[in-house]
Amino acid sequence: MAIEKDFFRQVMGRFVTGVTVVTTHHNGTPAGLTVNAFCSVSLSPPLVLVCVDLTSSVIPLIRESGIYAVNMLTTEQEAFSRCFASPTEERHQHFCYANYYTAATGAPILEGAHAFIDTHIVAEYPGGDHIIFVGQIEAMGAGGQVAFADASAKEDATLVGHEEDATSEESLPLGYYRGQYRQLADGYRQPSLSTIFNAKQREQQEQPAASSENA
């Protein structure tokens, strides 16, 4: 069986993802597009990447600005996902009527996002019919908390003082599976292996060392 595009989409659709809106800002104009091809790359330095279709009108703006922010959407922001994926006047002329803040780079941070990552671009690579943009993190936020790589960037950040409006601790992430939006089943929670391993490490560190009398 040949590797056909439709079957490739079906196979990849079995991988559950979140939904993001990648935003940028250039010459006073905000722009964004819906993306689920997003992942972390490195902890040190902190890097992420996004993959953008070659036909996207946002690519020139991302390149010229040299910045982008990744806004992870909540279950209440499904309309933003649809809008930023559509070639409409609402999107291109009115930024989907979205309220937003700025953090370190000036890229829009959507109000009420589940979490965000604000980056400057450090590399660009060809990826078939997509472009891969690697960004180094300048600011990030979740659960009403925000961190900056450079504290001086806070001076121009409009979200300072509005951290809880920018991201909410109570929000739930919007999911995507097999071509449909999904919501997590909040009743099922199990620790990952890393969580168990870290807990055991802490236990061992907290145990008092045996004294010479008991040795």
Average confidence (pLDDT) over 51-65: 96
How far apart CA 100 and CA 171 sit, in angstroms, is 17
Check if the beta carbon of residue 62 is closer than 8 Å to that of residue 52: yes
Residue 210 — pLDDT band, cuts 50, 70, 90? Answer: low
**Whole-model pTM?**
0.86
What residue type is assigned to position 31 of the chain? A
CA distance 64 to 62: 6
- Could you say which DSSP state residue 207 is in? S
Print the SS3 string covering 129-176: CEEEEEEEEEEEEECCEEEECCHHHHHHCCCCCCHHHHECCCCCEEEE
Residue 28 has pLDDT above 70, yes or no: yes
In this predicted model, what pLDDT tens digit does every residue of 129-181 receive, in sequence order? 999 999 999 999 998 899 999 999 988 899 888 877 778 777 899 999 999 98
| Cα angle: 31, vertex 34, 40; to 5 degrees | 105
Nearest to 98 by CA among 194, 32, 2: 32
Give all domains of the chain, ordered by start, each with its CATH number.
5-206 (2.30.110.10)
**For residues 188-196, average pLDDT:** 75
Number of H helices, E strands in the chain: 6, 13
Q: How far is CA 108 from CA 67, 103, 193, in A?
A: 10, 8, 35
